[in-house]
Each structure stands twice: as structure tokens, then as C-alpha cells.
Structure 1
């Protein structure tokens, strides 16, 4: 009886081993993305799809995914640049009306007429006072989603430990050489110097904004030096891509 029971147990173990071997392995990205919000989880699956389809290492898959998504957003960014250029063209007229309104501040009727004239200028040029901020609303959610998705993958996807190249083979750890944070700061600084505040020319705040951006570029090195290297694969690529619409 004991021998029969043992034999039956052995057969069950053999069957279970066979089923386990036949079953597809659990997708490490699917497991990592399971507890993420939908946009963040979707982005992780897109990176995984690029990785599986192309056979590229994780770092290159992140770069390709970044290029694909930024390319899809390019028409929106070009429209944004055109709109900010229109704002730059109309700014002298707007300032003239504003100064006239300020001089006539004691006359409510003239002030109202001046405000209507400014509204007419905005309408004629198809822009608004908030036009320069539209880029932030377009790119902000994408940046946050990429950051959260890649950070989550760096933490929970084991193969990220060997998914890099050169000095950044392990994508899950900070860059001890600080090359990645410095590259990120430099590429961001390039976008600033290449007129990242396009459309703000003539605005008194433009110089201040540019100086603040320069300071942020410098400060980003110590602020990001503890980020996993995987994040910089996106960040540097995205910064460089931001220069594309500005190439004349």
C-alpha cells in the first residue's frame, strides 16, 4: 500500500513538473506593473513590448519608447511653438495697449475699452496669456508617467540589473560616476540656451525665467544623483528630442 501511494505521489509530481515547464513564465514587467496606475502601467507594458519586439536591451528599449512617444507628440509641440511665436509678434502691441490702459486707470470706460482691445488682439492671433504654459501641461504628465514607470521597473524588474551598457550596466542603481546626472543637466541647459522660453521675448519675466532654468539645470545634478540609471535613459533622450522642433 505504501509503495502504491509513493508511486502515485511520484506520478503526480511528474505531472505537476511537466505542467509547470509547459506553462509560460510569469512576465516580470506584468508583475511589476500590477500595482501601478493605468497610465504608468500602460507605459511599462509599452516599454516591455518594444523590448520583446526589437530584442534590444532595456536601456535601448527605453530610448526607443521615448522617441516613439515624443514623436507622436511632435505635432502638438510644433503647434505650441507656433503659438508662442505669435505671442511674441503681438507682444509689442499688447504692451502698448497695456501702457495706455495704465495711464488711463482713473477712467473706467477707457480701461474697459483697453481690455477689450487686448482681448481682440489675443483673439486675432489665436493665442491667450497662458499660451507659454501649454507646453508644461502637455509634457508634464508624460514626464511624470515615464519617471514613475521606469522607477518602478528599476525597482521590481530583476533583468534591469543587467539591462544597461558601458558604465551603466546595472540600471537599478545610481550612477557612481555622476555621468548620467551631468549629461541630464547639460542637455537641459542646452534646451534653455536654445531659447526654451520661445515666445517670451520682450517679456520682462523672460530673463528671470531663463536664469531660474539655468539654476535648476545646475541644481539637478545633486538632486538627481541618487536616481536609478534607467531614469536617465529617458531623461537625456527626452531633453535631446526637445531640441528637434527648434532646429532651423
Structure 2
């Protein structure tokens, strides 16, 4: 069970180290492009960064396709575990059965060449990139660009250095991010750890609202643009035409429901 947790955790640590190294580069990228206003410059830079990360999304989709082929085998092992693990089993018997089950799951993943890190590599990389963009934007708000940023917004958030007092920007960013997670993890044949990963991210997103409402409005020019890009990307990669162009197999369909038993279909006497 430990290796299921340590692989994504170690990858997240490496991504965070790379993100800290390139935080200064992020700050240099977020500068007005030509005569664009600041809010639009931040948004266009976000789109450019996300386009550069599209190869990682393709790697993740390939890994998820391999995982989809392993899910039926893991499901059979799970059903077998429930039948072979009686309620009155001792702790030693349960531990031995779980070890055999985990060995079977690991063998199924290796058989289909599944890398757990690659199945979530895009979110793992997006998290440090998001943190670096937020940190770079906050540093710029305290730097020499503060005067320009205070007038670089639009609509009701003219001052990008101030928090949105209407809470429209943070709530919109949280809702779009929540939706992008639902679309990205919305397939019916999802393994348990993927559902738990999605639930953890969504819970953290909701719990962090009290903090994100205090962020400057300029941060949400990146956040909302990135979340919209994620929604469009997730929706596009779930269509068969796009998947065929990318060389990906179609999404697996859930198995048909089991036929009713004779006892349930028998007419009452």
C-alpha cells in the first residue's frame, strides 16, 4: 500500500523543487505584451504556459488509457478479496490476504504498463506552476509595477493589487476549478485512488475559500484562465474524434448490468 502513496508524493516534491527554481522566470513572463492591459497580458501568458504543458497532458492520457485496461483486472481482484475475507478472520489472516491482494494489483498494473505518477502528472505539475504564478504575481504587486497594476484591470476589478470585495472572482475561480476536476475525473471506470484524489482536491478547494478571497484580483486573471483552459482540454480529450487524432483509444464503456437472478424474475405464486 505504501508504494501507491509514495510515488505521487515524491513526484509532487520534485515538481515543487522545479517550480521554486523557475519562479523568477514566471515573474519575467508576466509582463505587458505590447500594448495589452495587465489583466489581458496575464491571461495570454497563462494560455501560453498551458499550451507548453500540453505534452504532459498527452502523457497523462496515454497512462490513463493503460490504467483503463487494468481496471477490470483490479475489479476482479477486489471482488475476489471480498469473498475470501470473512468477517471473523483474524488480524494475521486479514494482513496476509491484503498482501496477496496488493501483490495482485501491482502485477496487474505492471502487466498493462501503468505508471501511477503519469496518470496524475498534469495536476502534479499544475499545482507548483499555479503556486509559482501566484507567488510571482504577489511579488510584482509589491514591486515597481504596483502603480501600473493598480490600474491594469477591467470591469469591476480595475485595481489588480486589491482583493475583490464582491467575491465574484474567487468564487468563480473555485467553481470553474471544481467543474474542471469533475470533467477530468468524470469517467465511470475510475479506480478508487483516482476518485479519492479528486475528492481531496475538491475538499481542499472548498476549505481554502477563506484564504483565496483575500488574494489580489490579479491572481485570478491567471487562475480563472487556467481553469477554463483545463475545462476545455478535459472536454476535448473525451471526444472520440480528438482521441483518434492523438492516437488514443476510445474511452472504455462500463460493463452492462448483471441480468436479474431467477429468484427475482420468478412470478409470485
Counterparts of residues 110-125 of structure 1 (less than 5 Å): 118-125=105-112
Distance in 1 between the 2:117 and 2:30 partners? 33
**Aligned residue number for residue 155 of structure 2:** 166
Distance in 2 between the 1:141 and 1:204 partners? 25
Measured after TM superposition, the shift of residue 81 of structure 1 is: 2.6
Distance in 2 between the 1:215 and 1:140 partners? 15
Residue-pair matches, total: 208
1:146 match: secondary structure: helix
2:114 match: secondary structure: coil
**Aligned residue number for residue 25 of structure 2:** 42
Measured after TM superposition, the shift of residue 101 of structure 1 is: 6.8
Distance 1:161 1:115, change over 3 A: closer
**Aligned residue number for residue 242 of structure 1:** 230
Give the superposed CA RMSD.
3.2
Kindly indicate whether the alpha-carbon contact (under 8 Å) linking 2:60 and 2:120 is maintained by their aligned counterparts in 1.
Answer: no
**Aligned residue number for residue 128 of structure 2:** 141
Distance 1:224 1:110, change over 3 A: closer
Mark the runs of 5 or more structure 1 residues left unpaired by the alignment.
1-36
**Aligned residue number for residue 223 of structure 1:** 211
2:35 is the counterpart of 1:55: yes
Instruction: Show CA shifts across 1:50-82 (max 9, x none).
Output: x1x431111111101100010010121122133
Kindly indicate whether the alpha-carbon contact (under 8 Å) linking 1:84 and 1:199 is maintained by their aligned counterparts in 2.
Answer: no
- TM-score calculated relative to the size of structure 2: 0.65
Distance in 1 between the 2:22 and 2:193 partners? 34
Mark the runs of 5 or more structure 2 residues left unpaired by the alignment.
1-19, 86-91, 240-269
Distance in 1 between the 2:217 and 2:233 partners? 27
- TM-score calculated relative to the size of structure 1: 0.70
- Which structure: larger Rg? 1
**Aligned residue number for residue 17 of structure 1:** none
Higher helix share: 1
Measured after TM superposition, the shift of residue 201 of structure 1 is: 3.5
